[in-house]
Structure 1
Amino acid sequence: MSIKLGSVRAVVVSSPRAAELFLKTHDHVFASRPKTQAAEIVSYGSKAVALTPYGTYWRNVRKLCAVHLLSTSKMEQFKPTRTKMIGLMVDRLRGAGQKEEVVNVSEIVAEVFEKLLYRTILGSGDNNDDDHDDHADDDMRVKEILGEMVKLGGAFNVSDYLPLLASLDLQGLAQRMRQLSESMDKILERIIEKHGQEDRDRNLKDYDFVDILRSKLNQPINPQDQNSEVLGRTHVKAILIDMMVGAQDTSAVAIDWIFSEILKNPLV
């Protein structure tokens, strides 16, 4: 069934045969994401991965992230940090259990994964110097901005379906997203500059995502593609936002469900 949502044509797939055609046979045709006002504003003109239309650029950025940020060796690098923080979480829960205190496991798990997120991506919380409070303030502000970005990005936006009305910003969403984007940009610029000043003192094995992406600045995103875009600061900031949004809730929610299933089925 085909319907029109404003000026956007949509197709409703309601049978297994049609689903196979869309999701398997012609997957490459329908794999792209639609351009939205939120993606244009928050992702610096769709320069990240999650909300970027399928194509050569998307494949190049995805490869960059898979090879340099999300590889097995990179995940192994942060294993000691994960082990330490999860151990502290278990000790905290054990202590509360011994005192017969009521705890909110969801909040504790979310807090642990947030710390891991900011440590892995932004390098926050890996030192005890005078800048520790600044890192904490930035982390808290980043969390607030990301939450608001996700909320606005998922809201119904008239401008996505009636582009002629986009300039009017009837719902005020574009203005709010620009304000959030500007705030996030200032924080990320400060973090990137801080990492640049620390380069001399950082060992390669201690590199976080910011360090890795900084080392790729002004180089082709895909060295094997002669037409590949050169990685700039806007690309770096867009990718960092993508990584943080993608990792913010998924792991914590998964652990939350696992705990729920264990409580309901303790003998498993």
Structure 2
Amino acid sequence: LRTTSSSKKQGNRKRLPPSPPGLPVIGHLHLGRDHVSLCNLAKKHGSDDGLMLLRRGAVPHHVVSSPRAARAIMRTHDRMFASRPTSMVAHELLYGPIDVVFAPYGEHWRMARKLVATHLLSVKKIQSYRLARQQEVRLVMAVIRKSAAASTVIDMGEMMNNFVNDMVCRALSGKFIMKEGRNKIFRELIEANSALFASFNLENCFPRLAWLTRSNVCNKAKKVNRRWDDLLEKMIQDHEKRTLLPPHDRQDGKKEEESDFIDVLLLVRQQKDYDGITREQIKAFLMVSVVLLQ
């Protein structure tokens, strides 16, 4: 958990969690950030309450490594830690950001969370894709049987990536996403998103030096955003055209409970609770939902 300026002002330095020895300027940046290295550091340097302080460059981070501490952060004091730090990548990639993951805590965030939890990622909604999952599994098994009969090698990692990508694509836009090879473009954009968020950004560790890399990072994020925007706009337009057709002329014949994410978002924006949703917000919700489903 990255510590915000407000929480630093409220805290007392004498009550900060224990911290491993660091280096000048970079602090604990050299100690790694994967879950294994953090676990080992917490066992060695953390407090009995499961808290540890790391300084990645100029930014302090609290590492939480016990159920009790996690409960206090996620439930008891959840509002204090609800907002994520500002991010150049998220701002350029997610239209603001205006999604449910990076948007600051407030009225908009509560509305976005309600929409995603109730209409997109509810248990009932996820279960409605059971038939689609079975169909995708049959396709995977057919490929395995064919390769086994021909005694050829299968790249299981690649196959599982394709399976997850196709399944997420169907949840997002049904079978229409296969049109014009959009599922392949979709996978490329997901990988581009992951690369942007996983790459080292100077602002995450040295906020005052962010201007040194701001132009390069923002340009990359803007290019990826334009590709996302073009793809999602075409998909939304396809859905809007389809909804204008009489029921007997529609080729998909989907029931309401089997509707994909775009169908749901176009429908709920007509409801009173969500009548202020913009087209950009719909696209941001779709992009973030893809990440949450991965």
Larger mean CA deviation between 46-55 and 81-90 belongs to 46-55
Q: Which structure 2 residues correspond to residues 177-188 of structure 1 after superposition, within 5 A?
A: 177-188=221-232
Once the 2 structures are TM-superposed, how far is the Cα of residue 177 of structure 1 from its aligned partner?
0.4
Partner of 1:264: none
Matched, 1:140 2:191: no
Partner of 2:158: 107
Larger Rg: 2
Give the match's secondary structure for 2:61: strand
Partner of 2:291: 245
Which whole-Å CA distance do the structure 1 matches of 2:166 and 2:105 have between them?
32
Give the match's secondary structure for 1:51: coil
Matched, 1:57 2:101: no
State the Cα RMSD in Å. Answer: 3.0
Q: Structure 1 regions of 5+ residues with no counterpart?
A: 127-131, 249-268
- With over 3 angstroms needed to count, the CA separation of the structure-2 counterparts of 1:140 and 1:95, relative to structure 1, is closer
Percent sequence identity over matched residues? 29
Once the 2 structures are TM-superposed, how far is the Cα of residue 139 of structure 1 from its aligned partner?
2.1
TM-score, length-normalised on structure 2? 0.68
Once the 2 structures are TM-superposed, how far is the Cα of residue 247 of structure 1 from its aligned partner?
2.3
Give the conservation status (yes or no) of the 8 Å contact 1:216–1:231: no
Partner of 1:213: 265
Partner of 2:169: 118
Which whole-Å CA distance do the structure 1 matches of 2:127 and 2:61 have between them?
43
Matched, 1:75 2:121: no
Larger mean CA deviation between 11-20 and 65-74 belongs to 11-20
Give the match's secondary structure for 1:97: helix
Alignment deviations for residues 129-152 of structure 1 (CA, whole Å, 9 cap, x no partner): xxx652x1x222222122112111
Larger mean CA deviation between 37-46 and 200-209 belongs to 200-209
Once the 2 structures are TM-superposed, how far is the Cα of residue 17 of structure 1 from its aligned partner?
7.5
Alignment deviations for residues 32-89 of structure 1 (CA, whole Å, 9 cap, x no partner): 3222111211111121122233444333212211211223332333222211221221
Give the match's secondary structure for 1:10: strand
Partner of 1:233: 279
Partner of 2:199: 155
Which whole-Å CA distance do the structure 2 matches of 1:229 and 1:165 have between them?
40
Amino acid at match of 1:43: L
Once the 2 structures are TM-superposed, how far is the Cα of residue 217 of structure 1 from its aligned partner?
2.6
Which whole-Å CA distance do the structure 2 matches of 1:15 and 1:33 have between them?
21
Q: Which has the higher contact order (CA 8 A, sep 6+)?
A: 1
Alignment deviations for residues 87-129 of structure 1 (CA, whole Å, 9 cap, x no partner): 2212322333344332122222221221111111022457xxx
Give the conservation status (yes or no) of the 8 Å contact 1:39–1:52: no
Identify which of 89, 94, 98 aligns with 1:38. 89
TM-score, length-normalised on structure 1? 0.74
Give the conservation status (yes or no) of the 8 Å contact 2:172–2:286: yes
- With over 3 angstroms needed to count, the CA separation of the structure-2 counterparts of 1:67 and 1:12, relative to structure 1, is closer
Which whole-Å CA distance do the structure 2 matches of 1:19 and 1:116 have between them?
32
Amino acid at match of 2:267: S
Partner of 1:196: 240
